[in-house]
Structure 1
Amino acid sequence: MAMTFDPFSELDRLTGALLGTAQGPRFMPVDLYRDGDRYILNADMPGMDPDSVDIDMDGQLLTIRARRTAATDGGMNWLVRERPSGTYLRQFSIGEGIDAEAIAAHYDNGVLSLLLPVSERAKPRKIEVQTSAPQTQHVLNS
């Protein structure tokens, strides 16, 4: 079984354990793309309890927060502990072109998917060019 060793992350872990300091919110990788009249955001959240996921909109700020709790058993003797626990957080500034009332979320197989529909006023539209009534020209006969 191959294992990699990152001295910097190990040093951070040991420092936190010795000083008892809690680390801040952890990074959550996401993919964001547009598909027709909606944006789709997929966030990797493996091992998260879906009940710990909190999504809220405050004005134009979309916040995704989740918590992974570490297994704690007094009789455990950890040999390797690389899966971080704690709070995960991502925030996105959402433009006015999103219909905030129609945002939907789904969690499946460790991936949180948000569907962000484009608002009607932000969708592309054609503008009809108006013309005035054709003017008739009078021909003068001489």
Structure 2
Amino acid sequence: MAMSFDPFSELDRLTGNLLQFRPGPKFMPVDLYREGDQYILNADLPGVDPGSVDVDVDGQLLTIRAQRTAAAHEGAKWLTQERPNGTYLRQFSLGEGVASEKISATYDNGVLSVVIPVSEKAKPRKIEINAAQTPDDQKTITV
């Protein structure tokens, strides 16, 4: 049985392992999509205490922070420890077309969902077209 070797997938695996243990904020994977008049952002935060999650809007910058702490096991001899602990951080530039004062967030089963409504001024609207008057439609005023 012949096995194939993909050097790119091996490189992805190695760099993923290296980035996982780097100091500083950890990577937080997100999905972002638009549904109707709102944007939905879902962030994976498994094992994070909901009390440590912070969503903040400062001007046009949305910041998500979370803290995952390691379980304390006195006297344990670790064989492997692959689940990253520490601070998670992501920032997003919102732009002018969102209603930042109406942003809401929920945390359920390790997934943070942030709903970002589109502002009224950014929503598409229909423009009424008025018919122009023709010379026959104009009335003559005599002075």
Using the size of structure 1 for normalisation, the TM-score is 0.79
Bigger shift: residues 123-132 or 64-73: 123-132
Following TM superposition, by how much is the alpha carbon of 1:133 offset from its aligned partner in structure 2, in angstroms?
3.3
Secondary structure of 1:107's aligned partner: strand
- Counterparts of 1:9 and 1:134, CA distance in 2: 74
Among all aligned residue pairs of Structure 1 and Structure 2, give the percentage whose two residues are the same amino acid: 62
Q: 1:99 deviation in Å? A: 0.5
Change (3 A) 1:96 1:8: closer
Indicate the residue corresponding to 2:30 in structure 1: 30
Matched ranges for 1:30-109 at <5 A: 30-109=30-109
- SS of alignment partner, residue 51 of structure 1: helix
CA distance in 2, matches of 1:46, 1:79: 22
Q: Mark the runs of 5 or more structure 1 residues left unpaired by the alignment.
A: 17-22, 138-142
Q: Matched residues in 1 for 2:117 and 2:134: separation?
A: 43
Aligned-residue offset at 1:131? 2.6
Paired amino acid for 2:109: N
How far did 1:132 drift?
A: 3.1
Deviation at 1:75, TM superposition (A): 1.2
Q: Which structure 2 residue ranges, 5 or more long, are not aligned?
A: 1-12, 138-143
The residue matched to 1:106 in structure 2 has which SS? strand
How far apart, CA to CA, are the structure 1 residues paired with 2:14 and 2:71? 22
Task: Measure the CA separation in 1 of the matches of 2:16 and 2:134.
Answer: 78
State the 1:134 CA deviation.
4.0
**Residue-by-residue CA offset, 1:21-55 (whole Å, 9 max, x unaligned):** xx100010000000000000000000000000001
